Chain A
Amino acid sequence: MMMLSVSNLEKSFHLHQQNNAHIPVLSGAQFDVAAGECVALTGPSGCGKSSLMRMIYGNYRADSGSIRISGTDVVTATPREVMALRRGTIGYVSQFLRVLPRVPTLRVVAEPYILAGGNEAEAEEIARELLLRLRIPETLWQLSPLTFSGGEQQRVNIVRGFVHPYPVLLLDEPTASLDAANRDSVLDLIVEAKQRGAAVIGIFHDAIVRDAVADREIDVSLFGGN
């Protein structure tokens, strides 16, 4: 079953403040991702991998084309339709954690589950289990993750992306600053997500990680903007 379908996607940046620079990012991007499949976006730095991922999440606009996810075209969707997709359907683990200061880690990671309609007690239970799996010591759970190390913040971000069983998962360098043990734990999470039928799209610079989870690679530089 197709979970996500990208067709004829075009994107460029028009920077008014910088001599009206026009920077093409992607043109003619086209691919599908099936349930239970993990696709790795590849290509050199700056070729548009993260931009493509952000467009799928609705964080960047596309100029034309379509991104179909469970009956919604993200490109033409209203803000409320995108918000609904984000609540229950698309999970996104970005490279950097962005949360309100002073909110305890346990609440930060339980929140997406509650937003997706789950109850609070259940959310905390799943959050605890995932925090333990990714070796965030229990002594830190009542502290804001903004005080954590880079690797710990990344793991908190990953927990946020896996706490609800999103049918579509976007992972931007999820293992970039993790040690081997934590990397393996994240790989297990990705494999489990595939087994429950999630369509996973990832950017993995680490070839070991890519080989371990990706079924297929999509070279984003082939959709070069020019």
Chain B
Amino acid sequence: MTDILRVNGLSKSYGNQIGCADVCFDVYPGEVLGIVGESGSGKTTLLRCLAGHLEADSGSVEFVLRDGVRRDTLTMDEAERRQLGRTDWAFVHQNPRDGLRMAISAGGNIGERLMAIGDRHYGNIRATATSWLERVEIDPARIDDRPSTFSGGMQQRLQIARNLVTAPRLVFMDEPTGGLDVSVQARLLDLLRGLVAELGIAVIIVTHDLAVVRMLADRMMVMRRGQVVESGLADQVLDDPSHEYTQLLVSSALQV
């Protein structure tokens, strides 16, 4: 097994404000990497640079394509990167409204991504959309309803279905459980864990919720002021944190 993504020296600043600095890591297929830190630590900047939503100042983000070719996605042209965003990559936003098209039906939201990769057969698209609604525990009878009529938890699950339907190999997630009720969070985490195991996708998940990292991530990185201050096995970093800032984060988390 080798890496599917390798990040080297990735940096981004906003004027003289550091976004993220000299970030290096790699991810293998089937692995979940958690990135934690408080607001302003640079974790979302990092995720957006990785996914190509923001232009990095320096560094490289090498991705291994299906044919085994390793490409630096930062130097790809825009069309190629957009193609990657529709096929091998997926991005799950914190707010499902940013990742869904609210004016089209649930089935249309899932079908749109299939059509973007060339699927044209209406019956097939609808059948696939139906099966994905079931997988994310949304009643398929709601297939023609707009997501604006869904609860927040359902919208988030729909966003995940829309993202995973094209069988991406790498998924970026920005606080995917952020605005959800606790009961819905657990269900979503269980769903995500199942899908990751079943499909062997690699996931990079940004969150401020240490419990999410413990339940979902194999490895984690802790960010502060744009720097990665500690990284390692998720349970080791959480149970035996060595950096001062990680110790503060872990000791400040509420126990339930």
**Contacts A17-B248, A100-B215, A102-B187 hold; do A58 and B233 have CB atoms under 8 A apart?**
yes
Q: Interface range on chain A: under 10, 10 to 19, 20 to 34, or 35 or more? A: 10 to 19
Closest to B244 in A: A16
Is A59 close to B, CB under 8 A?
yes
Min C-beta distance of B191 to chain A, whole Å: 10
**Contacts A59-B240, A83-B233 hold; do A100 and B218 have CB atoms under 8 A apart?**
no
The listed residue with most A CB atoms (<10 A of its CB), out of B186, B240, B242, is B240
Min C-beta distance of B25 to chain A, whole Å: 11
Min C-beta distance of B72 to chain A, whole Å: 23
Q: Mark B175-199, 1 if CB is under 8 A from A, else 0.
A: 0000000010011011001000000
Tell whether, in the assembled complex, residue B236 and residue A59 are in contact, meaning their CB atoms are under 8 Å apart. yes
Tell whether, in the assembled complex, residue A103 and residue B190 are in contact, meaning their CB atoms are under 8 Å apart. yes
Min C-beta distance of B15 to chain A, whole Å: 31
Is B55 close to A, CB under 8 A?
no
- Give Cα A54–Cα B233 distance, bound, in whole angstroms: 13
Tell whether, in the assembled complex, residue A15 and residue B247 are in contact, meaning their CB atoms are under 8 Å apart. yes
- Chain B contacts for A133, CB-based, 8 A: none
Tell whether, in the assembled complex, residue A60 and residue B187 are in contact, meaning their CB atoms are under 8 Å apart. no
Closest to A15 in B: B247
Is B209 close to A, CB under 8 A?
no
- Give Cα A17–Cα B248 distance, bound, in whole angstroms: 7
Tell whether, in the assembled complex, residue A16 and residue B239 are in contact, meaning their CB atoms are under 8 Å apart. no
Min C-beta distance of B75 to chain A, whole Å: 28
Tell whether, in the assembled complex, residue A16 and residue B240 are in contact, meaning their CB atoms are under 8 Å apart. no
Tell whether, in the assembled complex, residue A101 and residue B236 are in contact, meaning their CB atoms are under 8 Å apart. no
- Give Cα A15–Cα B251 distance, bound, in whole angstroms: 10
Is B40 close to A, CB under 8 A?
no
Tell whether, in the assembled complex, residue B236 and residue A58 are in contact, meaning their CB atoms are under 8 Å apart. yes
Tell whether, in the assembled complex, residue A14 and residue B242 are in contact, meaning their CB atoms are under 8 Å apart. yes
Tell whether, in the assembled complex, residue A59 and residue B235 are in contact, meaning their CB atoms are under 8 Å apart. yes
**Contacts A82-B233, A83-B233, A100-B215 hold; do A61 and B242 have CB atoms under 8 A apart?**
yes
Q: Mark B203-242, 1 if CB is under 8 A from A, else 0.
A: 0000000000011001100000000000011011001101
- Chain A contacts for B189, CB-based, 8 A: 100
- Give Cα A124–Cα B48 distance, bound, in whole angstroms: 41
Tell whether, in the assembled complex, residue B187 and residue A79 are in contact, meaning their CB atoms are under 8 Å apart. no
- Chain B contacts for A15, CB-based, 8 A: 247
- For window 67-117 of A, CB contacts with B under 8 Å fall at 79-80, 82-83, 98, 100-103
Tell whether, in the assembled complex, residue A60 and residue B239 are in contact, meaning their CB atoms are under 8 Å apart. yes
- Give Cα A17–Cα B240 distance, bound, in whole angstroms: 13
Closest to B232 in A: A79
Closest to A14 in B: B242
- Give Cα A13–Cα B247 distance, bound, in whole angstroms: 11
- Chain A contacts for B187, CB-based, 8 A: 102
Min C-beta distance of A155 to chain B, whole Å: 22
**Contact for B240 among A60, A82, A98, CB less than 8 A:** A60
- Chain B contacts for A98, CB-based, 8 A: 214
- Chain B contacts for A58, CB-based, 8 A: 233, 236
**Contact for A59 among B215, B218, B239, B243, CB less than 8 A:** B239
Given A54-B239, A98-B214, A102-B187; 12 other pairs, CB 8 A cutoff: A59-B233, A60-B236, A60-B239, A61-B240, A79-B218, A79-B219, A79-B232, A82-B233, A82-B236, A100-B193, A101-B186, A103-B190
Binding site for B on A (CB under 8 A): 13-17, 54, 58-61, 79-80, 82-83, 98, 100-103
30 residue pairs bridging A and B, Cβ less than 8 Å apart: A14-B242, A15-B247, A16-B243, A16-B244, A17-B244, A17-B248, A17-B251, A54-B239, A54-B240, A58-B233, A58-B236, A59-B235, A59-B236, A60-B236, A60-B240, A61-B240, A61-B242, A79-B218, A79-B232, A79-B233, A79-B236, A82-B233, A82-B236, A83-B218, A98-B214, A100-B189, A100-B190, A100-B193, A101-B186, A102-B190
